[in-house]
């Protein structure tokens, strides 16, 4: 910016010199002198305002050379400053991404990727978007989201997005083949990452399971089931929307893991007094992949590694999260 500032000052000095020069050498009024200076500097090519003396022609030659040089330099500097600001901005984004731990990676910013990112923002989750489309990258950047511009099927791009330190990955690319490839690469790069991916065809679902996906979502099937549920039990669907989206009502359904050192580890639900203290209901306990305890009894003991499915007010759920050992983000 400092270079641009001095370039503007130099351009103004040339204009002032030319205007004063025509006034002194040719005896012109300020308007004619300024007009002649501008058409000389910009090489517009209009006819002379009035016939010029030899001294006036020398001044005009000087203004043409100085004007062209100043405009060329100014244009070059403006482009340089723009490119440098873009590079600096990209470096800042890369630096922020490299510092992330236990974050999420969203592969694809299309019709599914956009609402996924909106939900992650709503839950205050840290995430990175991988997208190769230039127009979508601009949308992501304008929304102040972290991103990596590249192909998610490329291992180097996944590494740049912090795959080795990520908590989870969502693959919602345009084709099943790309989602299978991303899932396979992500699983090889991080054996512990939780992978959710989209599938359209039956064969793709089988391949995604073999590739290492933890959960597979079939949008058309889910959409059809939701429409059927809205038809036969609309109240249930509306209630689930309220607790899932927290829109308009201070009520949420949350999954919270009991971590090492939690004050709840080893005590029963009754002794935890969560309902009395925080007005929270523990709907279920997800203990292992095969053990899911629905409506647990008050005598059920909370263990390290349990995932508590809880419903309550958002602020109280945040308190429960702290009691369980707040996650490191």
CA 182, CA 60: separation in Å to the nearest integer? Answer: 64
Check residue 83 and give its pLDDT: 66
User: How confident is the chain (329 residues) per 10-residue block, as mean pLDDT?
Assistant: 66 83 85 83 69 80 78 72 61 78 95 94 91 93 91 94 95 95 96 95 89 94 92 89 67 89 93 93 88 92 94 91 72
Measured from the Cβ of residue 137, the count of other Cβ atoms closer than 10 Å reads 17
Check residue 48 and give its pLDDT: 66
Residue 203 CB contacts under 8 Å (≥ 6 apart), including other chains? 176
* Token pair for 302: 């909370």
**Domain 2-95 part of CATH 1.10.287.70:** yes
Domain 100-223: top CATH class:
alpha beta
Q: Where are the beta strands (DSSP E) in 248-318?
A: 252-257, 281-286, 292-294, 307-312
Q: Give φ, ψ of 261 to 5 degrees.
A: 90, 5
CA 27 to chain centre: 62
Pair 149, 131: CB distance under 8 Å: yes
Residue 10 CB contacts under 8 Å (≥ 6 apart), including other chains? 70
Same fold, 2-95 and 100-223: no
Its pTM stands at: 0.66
DSSP 253: E
Q: Residues 84, 85, 90, 96: is their CA dihedral positive or negative?
A: positive
Instruction: Identify the CATH homologous superfamily for domain 233-323.
Output: Regulator of K+ conductance, C-terminal domain (3.30.70.1450)
The candidate with the shortest Cα–Cα distance to 142, out of 162, 114, 100, 122, is: 114
SS3 of the chain? CHHHHHHHHHHHHHHHHHHHHHHHHCCCCHHHHHHHHHHHHCCCCCCCCCCCCHHHHHHHHHHHHHHHHHHHHHHHHHHHHHHHHHHHHHHHHHHHHHCCCCCEEEECCCCCHHHHHHHHHHCCCCEEEEECCHHHHHHHHHCCCCEEECCCCCHHHHHHCCHHHCCEEEECCCCHHHHHHHHHHHHHHCCCCEEEEECCCHHHHHHHHHHCCCEEECHHHHHHHHHHHHHHCHHHHHHHHHHHHCCCCCCEEEEEECCCCCCCCCCEHHHHCHHHHHCCEEEEEECCCCCEEECCCCCCECCCCCEEEEEECHHHHHHHHHHCCCCCC
Token look-up 């009754």 returns 270
Pair 104, 329: CB distance under 8 Å: no
The domain ranges of the chain are: 2-95, 100-223, 233-323
Pair 139, 164: CB distance under 8 Å: no
The candidate with the shortest Cα–Cα distance to 37, out of 58, 25, 21, is: 21
Check residue 329 and give its pLDDT: 40
Residue 295 CB contacts under 8 Å (≥ 6 apart), including other chains? 283, 284
């Amino acid at each position: 910016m400092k270079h641009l500032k001095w370039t503007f000052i130099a351009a103004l000095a040339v204009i002032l010199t030319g205007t004063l020069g025509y006034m002194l050498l040719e005896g012109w009024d300020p308007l004619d002198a300024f007009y002649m200076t501008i058409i000389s500097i910009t090489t517009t090519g209009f006819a002379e305002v009035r016939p010029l003396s030899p001294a006036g022609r020398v001044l005009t030659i000087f203004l043409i050379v100085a004007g062209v040089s100043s405009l060329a330099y100014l244009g070059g500097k403006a482009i340089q400053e723009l490119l440098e600001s873009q590079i600096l901005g990209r470096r800042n984004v890369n630096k922020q991404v490299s510092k992330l731990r236990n974050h999420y990676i969203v592969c694809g910013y299309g019709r599914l990727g956009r609402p996924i990112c909106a939900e992650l923002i709503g839950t205050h989750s840290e995430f990175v978007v991988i997208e190769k489309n230039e127009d979508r990258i601009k949308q992501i950047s304008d929304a102040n989201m972290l991103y990596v511009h590249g192909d998610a099927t490329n291992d180097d791009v996944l590494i740049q997005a912090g795959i080795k330190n990520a908590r989870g990955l969502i693959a919602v690319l345009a084709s099943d083949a790309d989602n299978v490839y991303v899932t396979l690469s992500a699983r090889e790069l991080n054996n512990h990452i939780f992978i959710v991916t989209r599938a359209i065809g039956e064969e793709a679902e089988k391949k995604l399971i073999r590739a290492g996906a933890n959960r597979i979502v079939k949008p058309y099937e889910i959409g059809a089931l939701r429409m059927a549920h809205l038809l036969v039990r609309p109240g249930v669907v509306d209630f689930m929307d309220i607790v899932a989206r927290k829109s308009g009502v201070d009520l949420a359904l949350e999954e919270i893991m009991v971590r090492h050192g939690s004050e709840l580890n080893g005590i029963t639900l009754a002794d935890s007094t969560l309902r009395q203290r925080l007005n929270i209901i523990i709907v279920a306990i997800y203990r292992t992949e095969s053990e899911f305890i629905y409506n647990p009894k008050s005598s059920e003991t909370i263990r390290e590694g349990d995932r508590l499915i809880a419903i309550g007010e958002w602020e109280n759920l945040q308190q429960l999260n702290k009691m369980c050992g707040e996650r490191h983000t």
